[in-house]
Amino acid sequence: MRHQLASVHELMRAPALAGLPGETLARLAERMERRDLEPGEALDAAGRFAIVLTGMLSGSGGVLRPGDLVEGSARALTPAAVASCPRADYDAIVS
């Protein structure tokens, strides 16, 4: 498992974030932690805003693909990357 910050470029490719102004995306990228997952590795996104950057995960709503939001817990089906930050940080930046 590796942790680093998500890039603005990675975030702007996500449909849920694509409409945000560049300045907002830049502020969000400063808070979004990018986490690489190996197949079978679990992710607990409770209380966090989390979005799939690459790969596929299995969540409570089925298979999650790049651009999908992660709610609750999920497990990587393939090598994957997820960006997340505390939900309160996301709400403060985007609101």
pLDDT of amino acid 3: 59
Does pLDDT of 51 surpass 60? Answer: yes
Distances (CA, A) of 27 to 39, 59, 71: 30, 28, 22
- Percent of the chain scored above 70 by pLDDT? 97
Q: For all residues of the chain together, what is the average pLDDT?
A: 92
For the segment 11-39, the average pLDDT, to the nearest whole number, is 92
Beta strands across the sheet bearing 2-5: 2-5, 33-37, 80-86, 48-54, 69-70
DSSP 17: T
Query: Is 41 in contact with 75 (CB distance < 8 Å)?
Result: yes
Q: Where are the alpha helices (DSSP H) in 1-95?
A: 8-12, 22-31, 87-94
The rounded distance, in Å, linking the Cα atoms of 70 and 60 is 9
